[in-house]
């Protein structure tokens, strides 16, 4: 099994939990890739039992066989991870490092249990819809999608 660990910002307060995530993954024989910008923040702070791979962008899903993405943070971290996952349908397990999360529903005290469940295939997956947004003006670039919903804002363009 191969997983991608994704987060945006390393916080010292979460160091022991983050260490526990990597230790648990390695102890379970899971191959680990880490989102490169996050990995750079972990150097010198997290001890890796085994070498981890790097993961740069959404194109890496076509090269590396990722079974799960594990996000460390909150709902915003999951929403940001969607920009990598896109339409690959790779499931995301959100480990909540902050307050109550709607999408990041795994509490940090249950992370070992959650990792064991995904390793042993003892999970149910909530499916969410990815919406593609199109416009006659290419204002979205290649990030023209949303998770579950999008909001339209009407501006007054009259003089």
pLDDT of the residue at 27: 96
Q: Does the residue 79 lie in any domain?
A: yes
- The domain of 112 spans 2-129
At 159 the pLDDT is 67
Residue 115, domain member (yes or no):
yes
DSSP string, the chain: -EEEEE-S---GGGHHHHHHHHHHHHHTT-EEEEEHHHHHHHTTTS--SS--EEE-SGGGGGTS---EEEEEE-HHHHHHHHHHHGGG---EEEEE-SS--SS--EEGGGHHHHHHHHHTT-------PEEE---SS--STT--EEES-----------
144 assigned to some structural domain:
no
> Does 35 reside within a domain?
yes
Active-site residue set: 75
Q: What is the pLDDT of residue 7?
A: 96
Print the SS3 string covering 42-56.
HCCCCCCCCCCEEEC
Give domain status of residue 119, yes or no: yes
pLDDT at 83: 84
Q: What is the pLDDT of residue 100?
A: 65
Please report the pLDDT score of residue 15 as a whole number. Answer: 97
Mean pLDDT per 10-residue run, the chain (159 residues)?
96 95 96 97 95 92 93 89 87 85 78 92 78 75 68 71
Domain assignment present for residue 56? The answer is yes
**The CATH number of the domain where 38 resides is what?**
3.40.50.10330
**How many structural domains is the chain composed of?**
1
In a domain, 156, yes or no: no
Whether residue 44 is contained in a domain is answered as yes
């Amino acid at each position: 099994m191969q997983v991608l660990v994704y987060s945006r910002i390393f916080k010292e307060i979460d160091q022991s939990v983050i260490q526990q995530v990597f230790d648990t993954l390695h102890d379970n024989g899971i191959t680990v890739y880490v989102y490169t910008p996050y990995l750079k923040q972990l150097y010198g702070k997290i001890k890796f039992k085994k070498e981890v791979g790097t993961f740069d962008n959404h194109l890496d899903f076509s090269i590396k066989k990722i079974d799960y993405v594990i996000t460390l943070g909150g709902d915003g971290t999951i929403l940001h991870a969607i920009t990598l996952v896109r339409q690959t349908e790779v499931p995301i397990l959100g480990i909540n490092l902050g307050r109550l999360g709607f999408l990041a529903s795994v509490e940090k005290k249950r992370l070992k249990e959650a990792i064991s469940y995904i390793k042993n295939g003892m999970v149910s997956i909530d499916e969410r819809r990815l919406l593609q947004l199109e416009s006659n003006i290419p204002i979205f670039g290649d990030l023209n999608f949303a998770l579950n919903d999008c909001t339209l804002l009407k501006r007054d363009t009259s003089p």
